[in-house]
Amino acid sequence: MNEVIRIRDQLDRALRGEAWHGPALLEILANVDAHTAADRPIPGAHSIWEIVLHLTASVELVVARLRGEPKDLTPEEDWPPQPDITNGDAWCDVVAELERAHGKLFAAIEDLAESRLDEAIVPGFSGTYLQLHGTVQHDLYHAGQIVLLAKASRAQPRNPKARSRGT
C-alpha cells in the first residue's frame, strides 16, 4: 500500500469511522442537534456550528491548493459566522457540506502521485504530505472540541438567550 492510500484511509477514518481513538467526526456530529450546535455553553468559545463551518473552509482550502491555487483564507473565510437561522434543516445542510468538502478532497487525492507528497503543495506553502496529514489532525482536534462543547451544552439548563449570540 502506498502512502497516498494510507493518508486517504486516515482521512476517511477521522471523518467516517473505525478510527482507533474513538468516534469519528461524522459519528460525533450525528448526535448533535441544531440547538446544541448553535449553543455557546462556554463564553468566548466558538459554537459547534462555527467549528463545522471552519472545518469545511479548511478542507476546501486544501482542495484548492491541491489544484494549484496558492490560496489563503481571510479571517472571515477561516471562521465564517454562525447564521441567524439555526434550525434543523440548516444544520443538516452544514454537516452535509462538510461531508461534500471531504468528498472533494478524496477525489483530489485519488490520482495523486506519491512523489508529490514531498513537494510544496503550491509554491510558498508547506508540502502536500503535511497539508494532508494536517487535515486529519485538524479534523480530530476539532472533533474533540465538539464532544466537549456538546457535553457542556447538554449539562446546562436551556437558556438560549443567555448563552447564544444572535440565534
**Where are the alpha helices (H) located in the chain, listed in sequence order?**
3-15, 25-29, 34-38, 48-66, 75-78, 88-109, 128-155, 160-163
Confidence bin at 47 (pLDDT 50/70/90): very high
pLDDT tens per residue, range 92-148? 999 999 999 999 999 999 989 998 898 887 777 778 999 999 999 999 999 999 999
Confidence bin at 1 (pLDDT 50/70/90): low
What's the pLDDT score for residue 49? Answer: 98
Q: How many Å apart are CA 93 and CA 111, to the nearest integer?
A: 29
The residues spanned by each domain of the chain are 3-163
In sequence order, what DSSP letters do the residues of 43-88 get, joined into one string? TTSPPHHHHHHHHHHHHHHHHHHHTT------HHHHSPPPPS---H
The strand pairing partners of 120, in sequence order, are: 127
Q: Is pLDDT at 32 greater than 70 in this prediction?
A: yes
Averaged pLDDT of the chain: 91
Taking residues 37-58, report their average pLDDT: 97
pLDDT tens per residue, range 48-73? 999 999 999 999 999 999 998 888 99
What's the pLDDT score for residue 165? Answer: 45
What's the pLDDT score for residue 160? Answer: 53
Retrieve residue 65's grid coordinates. Answer: 491548493
Q: Please state the pTM of the whole predicted model.
A: 0.90
Closest CA to 99 of 21, 34, 28, 5: 28
Give Cα separations from 22 to 14, 42, 117, 144 (angstroms).
Answer: 9, 24, 28, 10
3-163 has which CATH code?
1.20.120.450
Q: How many Å apart are CA 34 and CA 28, to the nearest integer?
A: 13
